Amino acid sequence: MRQPLRRQLFLPFGILVVGATVAVAVVTAAVSARTRQADAIQRLERVVETLRASQFPFTPAVLAQMHGLSDAQFVVREPDGSVRATTLDPVPTELGSGRFSANEVVDRLTLAPSVQVGDVAYYAAELPLTTGIERGTLLVLLPVRALRRLGWSAAWPPLAAGAIASLAVLLMARSIAGRFTRRLDAIGGQVMQIAAGSADRLVLEGPDDELRKLATAVNTVSDQLRQQERTVRQTERMRLVAQLSSGLAHQLRNAASGARLAVQLVQRRHPDVAVRELDVALTQLKLIEDHIKRLLAVGPERGTTLRPGSIEDLFRSVEDLVTPMARHSGVALEFDAHGADSRWVPDLEGVRAGLLNVVMNGMEAAGRGGTVSVEAAAVEGGALEIRVSDSGPGPNPDIAERIFEPFVTSKPEGVGLGLAYVRRTIEQLGGKVSWRREGERTRFTLVVPETEPVASGTTKGVSASCR
């Protein structure tokens, strides 16, 4: 049987507190009632003492005044038992001689067990009168109902206070229990969402306590699981890319090599025809071959020889490749190295392939009449920063946070591998890729480590999988 935490934690606490409150209230009420009754009896004793010590006769008027001071009834009897004066009206016949036993005639007022006089029950005491003026006995009758009323009037305030305090404790315990259980239910719901694989971050209301710490730990677990899920998904996609690229690379590379040989043959036979255009075509075909080779690196790690190059060579080759497309698309291009022309990147071909991909994406986003600017600068830490900004609207908000993941694209004809390839290539060189919106422009930033210049035609004996 399920035992709610509210019942386990707060029910015993509530019972203990309420029990203690009720016990204190009952004891206080009992003490107050006894004290009030004792005060009434002491006041009555003082009245009786005054009567016994008085030197004036006990007339009905005197007895009436004493009745007003003490709420008791008084009866003066002659030695023969006849009633001479009383506050009772009418005078009851059962108060004749012999009504009270000898042990009830005491020197000091003592309440005897209750007696019934008419319809009223009284506590009774009979005291002898021995003054020079009066002889006989004084019968004092204190109504049982009056004495109980005095006790109740003293007892009900602490009882009421105890009841109110108990109710307040119960309501407070219920409120505290509800607040705790609601927060625990929220954490439990978050855990169930994590188990279902669709958990958002939990914002737990309430004070900064252990439950808030627990919610923070749950959020941390959720973030880690989400990151691991993205990593697994990306790994699976990379594996799929590797499988697809392995099957297509051989055929595509052969086709590109054949086309490049055909263009070279045309150049040899007609060396003065469309020299620049044929050079661009050869460069593009060579670039296709490089892309096919590097596509395999998106999957498993494979070593690739690094060929460093300068920013000047990088910008010039990219500009030559994209200028014809820019003219055809009506996009204005601007390249500015900001004095970093002589700086060297660790792999000219890899950085050129990544930069070319980003520039072409920017041209497509900017559209006719748009602008694309490419800048380079040296930054702290021995790195080079290459910035590509365009006047386009930026990535679709639905995929903005995942644009570097494989197969993520908003283009109907797109595959979603371009930016994944860019990130993979730059990260293999020990760099990083990022993007952000700056006003009305979108900026992609490629950061790569700077390398020392090397002699022309030499390469570095480092694999692309090294960092």
The verdict on residue 187 lying in a domain is: no
Note the pLDDT tens digit of each residue in 420-438.
Answer: 888 888 998 999 999 999 9
Q: What distance in Å separates the CA atoms of residue 223 and residue 18, rounded to the nearest whole number? A: 45
pLDDT at 391: 94
Name the one residue in this structure whose structure tokens are 């994944």.
420
Q: What distance in Å separates the CA atoms of residue 76 and residue 131, rounded to the nearest whole number? A: 13
pLDDT at 133: 63
Same domain? For 289 and 317 the reply is no
Handedness of CA 319, 323, 326, 327 (dihedral sign): positive
pLDDT at 411 over 80: no
| Residues 300 and 241: beta-carbon distance below 8 Å | no
Provide the token pair at 311: 């920013």
pLDDT at 295 over 90: no
- Give the mean model confidence (pLDDT) for residues 39-66: 75
pLDDT confidence band for 92 (50 / 70 / 90) = low
| Residues 364 and 442: beta-carbon distance below 8 Å | no
Same domain? For 28 and 143 the reply is yes
pLDDT at 445 over 90: yes
Instruction: Check residue 430 and report its DSSP letter.
Output: T
pLDDT confidence band for 383 (50 / 70 / 90) = very high
Task: Show the domain range for 319.
Answer: 304-467
pLDDT at 303: 53
Q: Which amino acid is at 206?
A: G
Number of domains in the chain: 3
- Give the mean model confidence (pLDDT) for residues 46-67: 75
The verdict on residue 104 lying in a domain is: yes
The verdict on residue 275 lying in a domain is: yes
Provide the token pair at 22: 């009720």
- Give the mean model confidence (pLDDT) for residues 372-377: 94
pLDDT at 311: 92
Count helices and strands (H / E) in the chain: 8, 12
pLDDT at 464 over 80: no
Q: What distance in Å separates the CA atoms of residue 237 and residue 231, rounded to the nearest whole number? A: 10
pLDDT confidence band for 105 (50 / 70 / 90) = very low
Q: What distance in Å separates the CA atoms of residue 406 and residue 239, rounded to the nearest whole number? A: 10
Instruction: Check residue 411 and report its DSSP letter.
Output: -
Q: In which element (H, E) is residue 336 found? A: strand 332-336
Q: In which element (H, E) is residue 115 found? A: strand 114-117
The verdict on residue 178 lying in a domain is: no
What percent of the chain shows pLDDT beyond 90?
A: 16
Pairwise pLDDT comparison (348 vs 112), residue with the higher score: 348
- Give the mean model confidence (pLDDT) for residues 201-216: 75
Provide the token pair at 436: 């952000």
Same domain? For 229 and 332 the reply is no
| Residues 315 and 374: beta-carbon distance below 8 Å | yes
Q: Are strands 136-143 and 73-77 parallel, antiparallel or unpaired?
A: antiparallel
The verdict on residue 28 lying in a domain is: yes
The verdict on residue 295 lying in a domain is: yes
Note the pLDDT tens digit of each residue in 236-267.
Answer: 766 666 666 655 665 566 666 667 677 777 77
Provide the token pair at 232: 């697994």
Question: What is the full DSSP assignment across 139-157?
Answer: EEEEEHHHHHHHHHHHHHH
Average pLDDT, the chain: 76
Q: Which of 78-92, 226-240, 395-409, 418-432 has the lowest mean pLDDT?
A: 226-240
Q: What CATH number should be reported for the domain holding residue 58?
A: 3.30.450
Q: What distance in Å separates the CA atoms of residue 375 and residue 438, rounded to the nearest whole number? A: 15
Pairwise pLDDT comparison (304 vs 8), residue with the higher score: 8
Interacting residues of 258 by C-beta distance below 8 A, sequence separation 6+: none
Q: Which of 163-172, 236-245, 380-389, 404-413 has the lowest mean pLDDT?
A: 236-245
Same domain? For 129 and 32 the reply is yes
